[in-house]
Structure 1
């Protein structure tokens, strides 16, 4: 089937594509010249800052005002620093400090890094209110569990990013913080009345509705609002609630349509694109696994399934977004130690560290969410020669660890340490007969193992958080 060139250009103008590897294939540049809104960069596209700058310059040979997006949240979700860990603490740490000026400054620094790399749309900040302690996908990406606190820091984060001329994207509307399933893998349901949603999840979105350039829709189902559909496909959510009730006038971007919460619900990525645009989305993030054929298939489905007027409205908004980034791009400077200084302020110590000098450091191996990816974490890069070993709790013996430590105390480092019974049991068995401290680098919980000498909470696992924890324990190299 031959597609009308004008309609194809409109359809392309609603899409954020992607490609693998550190260099842009010719098709990725050509599609930009033909109207593609832009591309999203992932960890596979990033080697180092200079390489990213060359990559984005190559993409802009296709069109100078192309949208180049990235998930750069700081903390546990980083793309620019995915090989080393972020130099900034994430939202949970910033929320724990609760200094809006600090949040604004950290996000301005992130914005400066992105401007230097040629990125103009940051798919951040996460403004979900994390009310489910065992949320598998949000957690430390959230500023906290209190709607008012999250709202204040959401606004500060948006202001910080946009002070550099990088468009901020508040996510994940109408709120992913009460879920215990991952929308990458299935369609989570938040089954609460609308008054609960308004009081608990919506205040951060209300706080940024008049300032953020972009809001991202979530692939979550809220039966009272969206019926059987995810919010991404719900006109009541995107048009009725976000635009009409909250007054948001910027660009609505979807979370990745390749995610199961969208693609499975619609019968495929092209079908999901049509449903999202029809519901009121303007810009569609296809996902990470994209090639030229998929982009063309999505565009073809859009041309046949979405009214021209709706396409023109969406493209008008995405074009204005691109224009805004061009007009507001600013080269900011900041203190190189800003991230570490912020992470230090987020460390909380319960108990006494006096008996934990010169320990054996035991890092509990843990998985990672799809949003995070496999990013280094822990104390190892910062240690002053202190021995560290890595273990899987289910395969470890408290007696063997105690024997290896000998007269030394043990510091156990983990993320979400409380979530597995075998991990809790191992720590408690160690603490019953040995001087033990715990460093928790995931979302804080109420679990405190009996008899531990100290419990240290970092509120995140970024490189900056790891350094701050090592310093607090007196274990950091100079």
Structure 2
């Protein structure tokens, strides 16, 4: 199933004229409260995650699209979103090799053309974030045997930009051994203050000036840049050789079927939920945090249920703002709004936000039979034990929404 979904993603990427996908996520989601990985991970078992990562790599690259496994050496055991701040994973070298590195070794063995680094400090390896650490990148090259392109996570993320600075981060990233520097995403500003405003042209010029100055000063060897450029050229040449025929609409439609099947298989339930919604319902969205890595709080689930069940209503417990997971700005002075009538409650990752947890408890106090839909990463099938009826979707994308609606309406 992972291979089928990876093929469909690669086909869509090709249809848009691109030839690199920044996936799979090879992180082992060891902390169920992880604010930024969660449902992006394949699980908590390193070998299971490794099998899925390898399947993704092989299938995507068979379509002529290079795969980039991320976030090396592992972002699954963090309580900090690196878009918001610097994370530390303080585990032993033995744990790192037995857990975090296993999926990356599988991705490398499967032939991954690229690996993305994490802005995380691993004290067992170095006191610098992995993206800036020659020691961490030597581990990737020498111990795992990776010979492809090392890509950085975005340098405008606060783990780098608010610690050593954007320009210095670019220079040190290249000096450490990264080949392809991801500057950031001007289409999705972090928000919050003027220092977060995004300007792609400005960032590019700042990075270029910093690199030229570092080369002139002798801080960044020209040979290091030549090595990086050679690896990137090799990747481009591979992409040119493996480009396949244009993707037609029938192929893309088949890929959408694979995504729908995966979303349906991902559903996990407790209590009597199949066909439970037959008429207008009162939906309550109790999610508060959003995750900049996967976008704003998605409305696919609510919109799909509202469309399937005419006359239904939707109430948001929290006012939406520019909050990201790990950095929440509360914009309602009066706190959460708890509606009096509730049939279905939408929540995100259960343990990532205490405010969401308190709101859900209050809603279930008043409405113990409400059907809860968890769109995030649960700690296990027994999570959220107060919910008598619950569906775990492991995502809030459109395929998740359609699969959930089919289940709840008996379609």
Range class of TM-score, shorter chain: 0.7 to 0.9
**What is the aligned partner in structure 2 of residue 173 from structure 1?**
72
Q: Are 1:263 and 2:164 matched, yes or no?
A: no
What is the alpha-carbon distance in structure 2 between the residues aligned to residue 125 and residue 197 of structure 1?
19
Matched residues in 2 for 1:375 and 1:280: separation?
A: 35
Unaligned runs of 5+ in 2: 186-197, 319-334
Residues 1:461 and 2:382 are matched in the alignment: no
Root mean square deviation of aligned Cα:
2.0
SS in 1 for 2:87: coil
2:397 matches 1:397? no
1:262 deviates by 2.1
CA 189–365 in structure 1, closer or farther in 2 if over 3 Å, else same: closer
Would the aligned equivalents of 2:289 and 2:297 in 1 still touch at CA under 8 Å? no
The 10-residue stretch of structure 1 (243-252 or 273-282) with the greater mean CA deviation from structure 2:
273-282
In the alignment, what sits opposite 1:246? 144
SS at match of 1:379: helix
Distance in 2 (CA, whole Å) between partners of 1:149 and 1:377 is 30
In the alignment of these two chains, the number of paired residues is 361
2:112: which partner in 1? 212
In structure 2, C-alpha distance between the alignment counterparts of 1:444 and 1:204, rounded to whole Å: 21
User: 2:71 is paired with a residue of what secondary structure?
Assistant: strand
Could you give the per-residue CA deviations for residues 141-176 of structure 1, whole angstroms, max 9, x where no partner exists? 101111011000000111121122111110000001
**How far apart are the structure 2 equivalents of 1:224 and 1:303?**
31
The reply on whether 1:471 has 2:368 as its aligned counterpart is no
Cα deviation for residue 344 of structure 1 reads 0.9
2:271 maps to 1:338 = no
Residue 466 (structure 1) shift: 0.9
* Conserved 8 A contact 1:380-1:388: no
Which residue matches 2:130?
231
- For structure 1, the 5+ residue unaligned runs are 1-101, 403-409
1:387 aligns with 2:323: no
1:322 matched to 2:236? The reply is: yes
* 2:284–2:317 Cα contact (<8 Å) kept: no
2:227 to 285, 295, 313: 313
| 1:50 match | none
Task: Tell me: CA distance 1:417–1:135, structure 2 relative to 1, closer, same or farther (3 Å).
Answer: closer
Q: What does residue range 92-131 of structure 1 map to in structure 2 within 5 Å?
A: 102-131=1-30
Q: After TM superposition, list the pairs within 5 Å mapping 1:13-412 onto structure 2.
A: 102-210=1-109, 211-226=111-126, 228-239=127-138, 241-266=139-164, 268-288=165-185, 289=198, 290-291=200-201, 292-304=204-216, 305-331=219-245, 333=251, 335=254, 336-353=256-273, 356-358=277-279, 359-374=281-296, 376-383=298-305, 384=308, 385-392=310-317, 395-397=336-338, 400-401=340-341, 410-412=343-345
When the two structures are superposed, what TM-score results if normalisation uses the length of structure 2? 0.83
- Equivalents in 2 of 1:388, 1:135: separation in Å? 31
SS at match of 2:125: helix
SS of the equivalent of 2:366 reads helix
Cα distance per residue 1:158-216 (max 9 Å; x no partner): 11211221111100000010000011222111111100100110000100113100001
CA distance in 2, matches of 1:118, 1:222: 37
